[in-house]
Amino acid sequence: MDTVELRMADLRGAIRSTMLETWYQPIIQIASRRPVALEALARLNHPIHGQILPDQFIPLVEDAGLAEELTERMCATAFADITVPTVARHGLIITLNFPLDVLLLPRALDRLDRQRVAAGYPADRVVIELTESKPVDDLVTLRRSLEHFRSLGYGVAIDDAGPAVPSYSALIELPFTSVKLDQILVRQVISDSTMAARLQGMIDQAHARGMAVVAEGVENRAIWDRMEQLGADGAQGFLMSRAMMIADVPGWLGSWRLDSPPIEVLAPG
């Protein structure tokens, strides 16, 4: 659908209603082949346009000044879902996407921590992902915010990392705990030796800083094997599972094996 069809009223109404859905995509630890995390992903289930993916509405949400409200709703739902007994017993990390403007707000962290405490979920089982929608201009304020998150026990990740990301060389020097490699780059790792070398350099650089590395866009076993050779710590992508509703997560957890075909669900991750 054409994103311009989504008006301000549509956006505001959607994120305050049941049209906003939270889906989850697993992250697998490569060394153990074990599921270790779920990333919470926003979807809009529009009555006219059907399911709308994040790249079609998140930029509009941010431009409309609604990112903080969206993030609050997503976090509340994610904590409720991750503490469902059939999911909670697996001790998974929950990863939550925070746009830069929200990450820098002290009240956003305060609200997140209240939600987490109310849910009874440990801070060291929560990772905040800095989304790449805007370039980082104020590294001093960002460092202060990251240090605050870290002091409370949260992990913090650079999302969609790649050589072309503005200020990446500066970001990698900040106190992040992990890096997620951009899926577009990861998908090229088999066919492009230059890209493989670049990703190897990024992985080595992150490891030298004590950061874990997750490869997004792992769509087949060949990509998995290559990322394992390059030293990535985790993998996320269609090989393991597309994004799913929380009701489907326990069944997926019970059936996951790397050598099994991924369970098909109704919507792309």
Q: What is the pLDDT, as a whole number, of residue 19?
A: 83
Per-residue model confidence as pLDDT tens digits over 61-110 = 888 889 999 999 999 999 999 999 999 999 999 999 999 999 999 999 99
Q: What is the pLDDT, as a whole number, of residue 4?
A: 43
* pTM of the shown model: 0.90
Nearest to 186 by CA among 262, 261, 237: 237
**How many other C-beta atoms lie within 10 A of the C-beta of residue 227?**
27
**How many other C-beta atoms lie within 10 A of the C-beta of residue 168?**
18
Per-residue model confidence as pLDDT tens digits over 218-243 = 999 999 999 999 999 999 999 999 99
CA gyration radius, the chain: 18
Nearest to 51 by CA among 184, 219, 245, 246: 245
Going 33 to 162 to 92 to 39, the CA torsion angle's sign is negative
3-state secondary structure of 51: strand
- Where are the domains positioned within the chain? 3-254
Q: What is the pLDDT, as a whole number, of residue 166?
A: 62
Residues of the chain with pLDDT under 50: 1-4, 261-269
Inter-residue contact 110 to 139 (CB < 8 Å) = no
* Fold (topology level) of 3-254: TIM Barrel (3.20.20)
